[in-house]
Amino acid sequence: MRKKRIISNCLWITLALTLLVLFVILVFPDHYPGSSSPAPTTFENVVIMALRVAFWPLLVAMPFSDNPPTFVMIALFLVTGLFWAFIIELLLLALRRKKAPVSN
């Protein structure tokens, strides 16, 4: 495995997920069960589900603390990015091995 690529992927993934969170916060309207606002659209539901999958370390830690400190949130964002960077690296490694010719 290449450490530089994993670290680079981790930072890019963390940045992308942070921007996606800001997109959700700034663009999607709030939907409350008792309000008269329209129900969430399919696009909103898909984006929110993608965030739930992407931020599973954060979702695991949230029940332990309602409002974790900022450094814990940053660490969880980086752990999430590192996890997905390892997944990408493993997929690239598997593709590289699959394409490599077998010599007897």
pTM for the model stands at 0.66
Query: Percentage of the chain with pLDDT > 90?
Result: 0
Query: If you average pLDDT over each of 11-25, 32-46, 55-69, which comes out highest?
Result: 11-25
CA angle 50, 64, 16 (to 5 degrees): 30
- Per-residue pLDDT, 102: 63
Q: What is the dihedral of CA 83, 89, 91, 96, to 10 degrees?
A: -170
**What is the Cα–Cα distance from 70 to 51, expressed in whole angstroms?**
19
Work out the pLDDT band at 19, boundaries 50, 70, 90.
confident
The 3-state DSSP class for residue 35 equals: coil
